[in-house]
């Protein structure tokens, strides 16, 4: 039995291939190893009732997650998963690799994630090539949920948000300076906290302030990340993540202005990723 996971900082999506050919899909909280430790990851997955009856029968686990950028972080996730899936081969890769498999298949192209965080890389048809991007929510994550959340919160606190929108924001979240500082600087997962405010943009997507904020964020992402690649006009750029999906109209407009050719826009790549892994494993078996 093969288990595939696509994990962001806010949510993890899982699909298990059952013996009868059906699929078991479930979700957990995000399992970014920069924000949850090995013990926490193991506890989260062990408390999912759907998977427990099959745990000892799982033979392969393919986990693609944000924060899995170094050998020690990948080992942390692998060790946590092995505590439940005792007999399974476990592979841990970055979420960009999973996004590339889901969006590109075996074709070359750029793959960008715009969810809680943001990142980009080039997929050469087999491997995701290393880049300088993906430096996290403190230093980077342009155009992501956390980036937009920071803009909304800071402009609200500074009093520079339009008055009508500020009133709605205050009514919606009931926050003040002290609450924000406590959640950002003293509590776990500050990136997920900040990204949670991006929902407000969806609720007021037609407001001129929100529309322009979205376009500014996507321009920042393209300028800072995509345009650093000299050949970005030669390949399609696929986008994966909730921010790209929910605000695709603004994203398409800015990409067209900046000369970026958009390919697929996937909200969550788990279905396409699962199909890719299953087909790849079948091809391996045929070759053997």
Count CA atoms within 13 Å of residue 25 on its CB side.
9
Distance CA 18, CA 39 (A): 27
- State the pLDDT at residue 286: 67
What is the pTM assigned to this prediction?
0.83
Residues 53 and 59 sit within 8 Å (Cβ to Cβ): no
- State the pLDDT at residue 285: 65
The mean pLDDT values, 10 residues at a time, for the chain of 288 residues are 90 91 91 90 91 92 91 94 94 92 93 91 88 75 94 95 96 93 88 92 95 96 93 94 95 96 93 92 68
- State the pLDDT at residue 20: 83
- State the pLDDT at residue 220: 95
Domains of the chain by start residue, with CATH: 2-100+269-287 (3.30.420.40)
Tokens at 184, concatenated: 């950002």
Distance CA 245, CA 287 (A): 37
Distance CA 63, CA 6 (A): 6
- State the pLDDT at residue 235: 95
């Amino acid at each position: 039995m093969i288990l595939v996971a696509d994990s962001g900082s806010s949510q993890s999506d899982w699909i298990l291939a059952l013996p009868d050919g059906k699929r078991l899909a479930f979700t957990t909280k995000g399992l970014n190893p920069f924000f949850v430790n090995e013990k926490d990851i193991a506890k989260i997955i062990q408390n999912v009732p759907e998977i427990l009856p099959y745990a000892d029968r799982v033979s392969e686990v393919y986990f693609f997650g944000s924060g899995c950028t170094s050998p020690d972080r990948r080992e942390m996730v692998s060790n946590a998963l092995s505590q439940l899936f005792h007999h399974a081969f476990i592979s841990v890769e970055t979420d960009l690799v999973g996004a590339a498999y889901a969006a590109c298949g075996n074709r070359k192209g750029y793959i960008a994630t715009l969810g809680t965080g943001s990142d980009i890389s080039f997929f050469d048809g087999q491997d995701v090539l290393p880049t300088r991007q993906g430096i996290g929510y403190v230093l980077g994550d342009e155009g992501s949920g956390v980036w937009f959340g920071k803009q909304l919160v800071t402009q609200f606190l500074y009093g520079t948000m339009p008055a009508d929108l500020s009133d709605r924001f205050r009514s919606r979240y009931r926050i003040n300076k002290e609450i924000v500082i406590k959640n950002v600087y003293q509590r776990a997962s500050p990136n997920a906290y900040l990204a949670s405010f991006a929902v407000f943009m969806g609720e007021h997507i037609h407001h001129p302030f929100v529309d322009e904020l979205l376009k500014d964020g996507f321009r920042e992402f393209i300028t800072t990340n995509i345009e650093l690649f000299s050949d970005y006009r030669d390949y399609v750029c696929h986008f994966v993540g909730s921010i790209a999906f929910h605000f695709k109209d603004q994203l398409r407009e800015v990409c067209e202005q900046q000369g970026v050719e958009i390919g697929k826009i996937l909200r969550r790549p788990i279905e396409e990723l699962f199909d890719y892994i299953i087909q790849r494993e079948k091809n391996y078996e045929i070759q053997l």
